[in-house]
Amino acid sequence: MLIRDTLEGYGIVSRLFHWLMAIAIFGMFALGLWMVRLDYYSPYYNAAPNFHRDLGMLLLLALVVRWLWRAANPKPVSDDLTPAERKISNVVHWGFYVLLLVLMVSGYLISTQDGESIDVFGWFSVPSIFRMPGLEDRAGYIHRLFAYAVIALAVVHTLAALKHHFIDKDDVLGRMWSGPKARPKSKEDNSQ
């Protein structure tokens, strides 16, 4: 099993980051839609936002680690894509990073505008940078807007991957699902 990325495909670390963050992002979106409809008497009124906030901080940390991992690894060659598809793919991937960063920072600002830190599952605390009453409304608007933008981009990304898999019948989705194809052993590999 390949850990690092190569020019032929993504290693297990990049693939796990991709799929776990995809599940978490869709899950966080669903949780966000559900929790804003809770009334004061719901047993989840406080628990759901706390979980959403704590998981959001872990996802922010994962996003930073993912950036560092991407910077430390080669980007697989995308020979299956046309030049226009390569440009669009690059815009979509960097668009995800920007949208996710703004989404997570706005969530942080919603939660810390009162000067209180975020206690992430009791493991560590993320301090408030500053106190600014009223910021939660503006940050909340941005958070909601960017949440919908992330989901819209994720749907487009998913449809493009499915198009490559089922219509173009190329290996774009396969590289992120199962990694690079095993290369055939050469005579030199067998002699060692």
Residue 72 counted as domain residue: yes
CA distance 99 to 146: 6
* Domain membership of residue 62 as a residue range: 12-181
What is the predicted pLDDT for the residue at 159? Answer: 95
Residue 163 counted as domain residue: yes
Q: What is the pLDDT of residues 122-150, one digit of tens each?
A: 999 999 998 888 889 999 999 999 999 99
Residue 1 counted as domain residue: no
Residue 5 counted as domain residue: no
Band of pLDDT at residue 16, cut at 50, 70 and 90: very high
Residue 156 counted as domain residue: yes
Q: Are 59 and 18 in contact (CB under 8 A)?
A: no
Q: Is 169 exposed, middle or buried (0-12, 13-18, 19+ CB in 10 A)?
A: exposed
Mean pLDDT confidence for 73-90: 91
pTM as predicted: 0.89
CATH code, domain with 47: 1.20.950
What is the predicted pLDDT for the residue at 192? Answer: 46
In the three-class reduction of DSSP (H, G, I as helix; E, B as strand; rest coil), residue 9 is classed as strand
Residue 6 counted as domain residue: no
Domain count, the chain: 1
